[in-house]
């Protein structure tokens, strides 16, 4: 069966590797991952540290959590009684290469101790 370019692109859109590569191509997403590599932080801390909007942080965190690139390390209760998630990167390094016109993604786990 011959695959047309459209079929290939449509198939790739559902591929997890492709989704991770697309996510990591975003500078805000990469900055967020770097920010929570060594220390678990909540969305507000990340937004304040990186000087980006809270909605952008939440959108990126949701995407990263869906791709399992981050984890909720623990929950804390705010002064207002709200449950707040502390996020931490599950990866410390990413390598992307090409083999036979297909991307090869290597993710290296984050084994450092965290707060």
Q: For the chain, which residues make up each domain, given as ranges?
A: 16-109
**Cβ neighbours, 10 Å, residue 24:** 19
Residues 6+ apart with CB under 8 A from 42: 76, 84, 85, 86, 87
pLDDT tens for 30-78 read: 999 999 999 999 999 999 999 999 999 999 999 999 999 999 999 999 8
Q: What is the CATH number of domain 16-109?
A: 1.10.10.10
Per-residue pLDDT, 114: 47
Nearest CA among 86, 57, 92 for reference residue 72? 86
Q: How far is CA 101 from the centre of its chain?
A: 24
Question: Which residues make beta-bridge pairs with 91?
Answer: 109
pTM of the model: 0.80
31, burial (CB in 10 Å: exposed 0-12, middle 13-18, buried 19+): middle
- The pLDDT tens digits for 8-32 are 444 554 588 889 999 999 999 999 9
């Amino acid at each position: 069966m011959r695959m047309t370019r459209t079929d290939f692109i449509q198939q790739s859109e559902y591929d997890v590797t492709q989704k991770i590569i697309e996510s990591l191509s975003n500078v805000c997403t990469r900055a967020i991952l770097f920010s929570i590599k060594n220390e678990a932080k909540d969305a507000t801390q990340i937004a304040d540290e990186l000087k980006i909007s809270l909605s952008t942080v939440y959108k990126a965190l949701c995407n990263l959590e869906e791709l399992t690139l981050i984890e909720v390390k623990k929950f804390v209760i705010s002064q207002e009684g709200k449950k707040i998630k502390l996020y931490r990167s599950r990866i410390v390094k990413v390598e992307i290469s090409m083999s036979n016109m297909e991307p090869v993604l290597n993710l290296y786990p984050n084994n450092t101790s965290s707060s």
